[in-house]
Structure 1
Amino acid sequence: MADLWHPIGGICISNLRDKRILFQFFHEVDVQRVLTGAPWFFNKHLIILHELKQGENPLVVLLFSSEFWVQVHDLPPGLMTELMAKQFGNFLR
């Protein structure tokens, strides 16, 4: 991931356990670029990111959701409404 992200301040990657990896960035610009660039994938697996707060244990943080874009093809023009978008969103939750 470091080769993909090219952090300007460097990065430390630690394998914790239970399929959890800790990415420690040393510059806020890198943190924000990675968080706003989500979703990220590795070997076709979605990486769920969470910015740790002071004192948070990375092994107990709940990692159950991620934001991502969904593109709908061939939707008739009459159905391209905000209501339809909300219904799609609710269906995908």
Structure 2
Amino acid sequence: MTIKKAAKCGTLESNDIFLILTPSEDGIEIELESTVEKQFGDHIREVIKAKLLELGIDSVQVQAQDKGALDYTIRARIEAAVARSL
């Protein structure tokens, strides 16, 4: 499934993540900026991708600006952004 329109969710505050989802036809593309990119970048991408697939989204472009968000915050923000985009 693909999303219908662009959606935003989150903030740029500490311990949060700001996401922008936009429609795409090229699978799941993740563009990540993070204060902890070197340590946790791959893990953050995997959490984002797993949550999208869990929600049935297989084609979307994700722009993420992470400020140290924990996994449950990332999953909640993805879920809210997907709900807004459908």
Superposition TM-score, scaled by structure 1 size:
0.27
Name the one with the larger helix percent. 2
Larger radius of gyration: 1
Which of 1 and 2 has higher RCO (CA within 8 Å, sep 6+)?
2
TM-score of the superposed pair, with normalisation by structure 2: 0.28
